[in-house]
């Protein structure tokens, strides 16, 4: 029996790589994105249905989820749409902060809520959410992005308790750096003269050469969708695994001091 996954944010990056991987493994894929009319690759693939979805648009969530369910059963919902926001807290506008939460947090919560009654009545279903290693640790100057991803980790851990009794599983995939449009196109930023030197040091500390290709992170999403395990958290990518292991090994306080020293040490 063919299985179906519903994915948000499939125009590029991890969402697109995941859509292609599941399709190539025989799944039906409901690939949602803000501008499906511009998509030229996924639209050519068998068993891929494109639907419009901006996760900040409440009415569209309702209509798109209805359309998706009208195409047949859905087994997995992959909340992936999101983007990063970097900059000193005092220089962020209220609009930047609200948009970050609207997309990364409220978008995920609302899409999930739209599917819960269906999964509960069906007696099974799986929610997977792309969080980030930044939902388990923190880098300097990412306070609001971290707030959104820590929110998703905590929310997932809690909502799993109430949904498990209905056969619904909740999982997170927490990637490290991924080679996508995340930094090149999608990133929102702010700057402030008082923080210029430390921001510059932070940016110098990131090397995208060490980021993981999106198709490898998509493999972790596939594992989470198919391993049948009662497991919440899938840390994905060698960098993320190493960072998280280090935090668990040396403890929160030592890890926090180490991160400050590594990224801002001599400022
Ligand atoms: N790349 C990394 O280093 C990294 C690391 C950890 C976690 N992540 C997480 O991975 C997820 C995917 O990001 P990516 O790395 O694949 O970056 P990406 O290539 O920039 O893709 C982001 C996707 O999210 C979509 N999106 C943004 N706002 C949206 C909205 N309001 N409604 C619907 N879709 C929206 C984008 O659509 P448009 O084309 O319309 O903008 C795009 O399809 C995000 O949740 C991100 O936080 C990324």
Task: Measure 200 CA to ligand 1 centroid, in angstroms.
Answer: 24
Does the CB atom of residue 17 touch ligand 1 within 6 A?
no
pLDDT in tens, 54-66: 999 999 999 999 9
Strands 178-179 and 125-130: unpaired
pLDDT of residue 207: 85
Q: How confident is the model at residue 265 (pLDDT cuts 50, 70, 90)?
A: confident
Does the CB atom of residue 142 touch ligand 1 within 6 A?
no
Q: For ligand 1, what atom is nearest to the CA of residue 55?
A: 32
d(Cα 189, Cα 92) in Å, to the nearest integer?
8
pLDDT in tens, 93-106: 999 999 999 999 99
Q: Which two tokens stand for residue 127?
A: 């929610």
Q: How far is the CA of 6 from the CAs of 59, 76, 101, in angstroms?
A: 18, 6, 21
Q: Which residue has the tokens 């648009």?
A: 57
Q: For ligand 1, what atom is nearest to the CA of residue 187?
A: 20
Q: Which residue has the tokens 């799986």?
A: 126
Q: Which two tokens stand for residue 169?
A: 């599983």
* 145 in active site: yes
Does the CB atom of residue 76 touch ligand 1 within 6 A?
no
DSSP conformational letter for 211 = S
pLDDT in tens, 190-248: 999 999 999 999 888 888 888 999 999 999 999 999 999 999 999 999 999 999 999 99
State residue 156 phi and psi, 5-degree precision.
-60, -45
d(Cα 253, Cα 1) in Å, to the nearest integer?
49
Does the CB atom of residue 237 touch ligand 1 within 6 A?
no
Does the CB atom of residue 75 touch ligand 1 within 6 A?
no
Please say whether the beta carbons of 108 and 55 come within 8 A. yes
pTM above 0.95, yes or no: yes
DSSP conformational letter for 265 = T
Q: For ligand 1, what atom is nearest to the CA of residue 131?
A: 7
Task: Measure 252 CA to ligand 1 centroid, in angstroms.
Answer: 28
Which protein residue has the closest C-alpha to ligand 1 atom 3?
177
- In the chain, count H helices and then E strands: 10, 11
Instruction: Give the residue-averaged pLDDT of 111-122.
Output: 98
Q: How far is the CA of 97 from the CAs of 91, 127, 136, in angstroms?
A: 11, 25, 20
Task: Measure 182 CA to ligand 1 centroid, in angstroms.
Answer: 6
Please say whether the beta carbons of 114 and 137 come within 8 A. no
Q: Look up the CATH architecture of domain 4-196+211-244.
A: 3-Layer(aba) Sandwich (3.40)
d(Cα 220, Cα 241) in Å, to the nearest integer?
12
Which protein residue has the closest C-alpha to ligand 1 atom 34?
9
Task: Measure 250 CA to ligand 1 centroid, in angstroms.
Answer: 31
Domain extents in the chain? 4-196+211-244
Minimal CA–CA distance to 176: which of 14, 9, 4, 1?
14
Minimal CA–CA distance to 92: which of 84, 80, 104?
84
Q: How confident is the model at residue 266 (pLDDT cuts 50, 70, 90)?
A: low
Task: Measure 10 CA to ligand 1 centroid, in angstroms.
Answer: 8
Average pLDDT of the chain, as a whole number: 97
Does the CB atom of residue 67 touch ligand 1 within 6 A?
no
């Amino acid at each position: 029996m063919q299985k179906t996954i519903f994915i948000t944010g499939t125009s590029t990056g991890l969402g697109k790589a995941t859509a292609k991987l599941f399709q190539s493994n025989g799944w039906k894929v409901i690939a949602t994105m803000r501008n499906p009319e511009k998509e030229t690759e996924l639209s050519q693939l068998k068993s891929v249905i494109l639907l419009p979805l901006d996760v900040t648009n409440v009415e569209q969530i309702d209509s798109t989820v209805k359309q998706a369910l009208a195409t047949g059963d859905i087994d997995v919902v992959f909340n992936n749409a999101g983007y990063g926001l970097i900059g000193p807290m005092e220089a962020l506008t209220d609009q930047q902060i609200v948009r970050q939460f609207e997309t990364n947090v409220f978008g995920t919560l609302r899409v999930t809520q739209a599917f819960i009654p269906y999964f509960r009545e069906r007696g099974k279903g799986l929610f997977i959410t792309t969080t980030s290693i930044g939902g388990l640790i923190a880098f300097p100057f990412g306070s609001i992005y971290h707030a959104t991803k820590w929110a998703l980790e905590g929310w997932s851990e809690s909502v799993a308790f109430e949904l498990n009794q209905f056969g619904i599983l909740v999982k997170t995939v927490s990637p490290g750096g991924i080679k996508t449009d995340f930094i090149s196109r999608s990133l929102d930023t702010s700057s402030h003269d008082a923080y210029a030197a430390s921001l510059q040091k932070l940016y110098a500390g990131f090397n995208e050469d060490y980021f993981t290709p999106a198709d490898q992170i998509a493999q972790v999403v596939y594992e989470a969708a198919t391993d049948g395990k009662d497991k919440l958290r899938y840390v994905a990518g060698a960098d993320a695994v190493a960072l998280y292991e280090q935090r668990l090994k040396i403890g929160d306080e030592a890890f926090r001091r180490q991160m400050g020293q590594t990224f801002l040490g001599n400022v």
